[in-house]
Amino acid sequence: MRRKSLLLCITFCLPLIATSLFAETDILGWGKAKWGMTQSQLKKLYEIEKCTEFEGTLMCALIERLNIQGHNFKLVFTFDENSPSGKLIKISMSSTATTLDENAFGSVLGLLVRKYGQPDSKKSFSIAKTSLWLKTSGQLEFQTMFNKVSPNSAFVLCIIDYIAVARRL
């Protein structure tokens, strides 16, 4: 009887415990890109397109699109200033889909939940849903916007933002 109880406990409890234990405890950037890196350090890791200055920051797009759960995402790195000493403060990913499925990016959200645990907050609006993870060094915001353009078609936008907590590193 003890063996059966132990086996049942392991079978049902272990997956829940493993998810909690292996969830990332902090957000230090994305992939090989870490908060505080300069543009030249990032260029050694990733092939990026021409950078653009926007409101005092520098934004550089990754040339290659990322495939996440079957969706192609464009990735943009944002630095706190347009200078050689500018530091990485934000990493944004965006993707679109034309579908009637409001949860078209549900598998991407599931991937983030497996990696970082349950979001610290969730908000739902008429056309948008947001999930937010707050960690010591960074935060992660996952947003989807659903806009039905006709009875047979809708536009879904997905944005994932990794943001450094300390804006000036």
User: Distance between CA 107 and CA 18 in Å, rounded?
Assistant: 20
Return the structure tokens found at 107: 């598998």
Looking at residue 6, its pLDDT comes to: 39
What are the pLDDT digits (tens) for 55-97?
Answer: 889 999 999 898 998 899 999 999 998 888 899 999 999 999 8
Looking at residue 133, its pLDDT comes to: 96
Burial of 5 (0-12, 13-18, 19+ CB in 10 A): exposed
What are the pLDDT digits (tens) for 120-149?
Answer: 999 999 899 999 999 999 999 999 999 988
Q: Where are the beta strands (DSSP E) in the chain?
A: 29-30, 33-34, 48-54, 57-62, 66-68, 71-79, 88-98, 121-124, 128-134, 138-150, 153-164
Looking at residue 50, its pLDDT comes to: 82
User: Distance between CA 65 and CA 131 in Å, rounded?
Assistant: 23
Looking at residue 10, its pLDDT comes to: 42
User: Do the Cβ atoms of 160 and 73 come closer than 8 Å?
Assistant: yes
User: Do the Cβ atoms of 153 and 96 come closer than 8 Å?
Assistant: no
What are the pLDDT digits (tens) for 31-40?
Answer: 999 999 999 9
Q: Which amino acid is at 42?
A: L
Looking at residue 24, its pLDDT comes to: 57
User: Do the Cβ atoms of 105 and 99 come closer than 8 Å?
Assistant: no
User: Distance between CA 104 and CA 146 in Å, rounded?
Assistant: 9
Q: Which residue has the higher pLDDT, 142 or 104?
A: 142
Q: Which residue has the higher pLDDT, 1 or 139?
A: 139
User: Distance between CA 166 and CA 169 in Å, rounded?
Assistant: 6
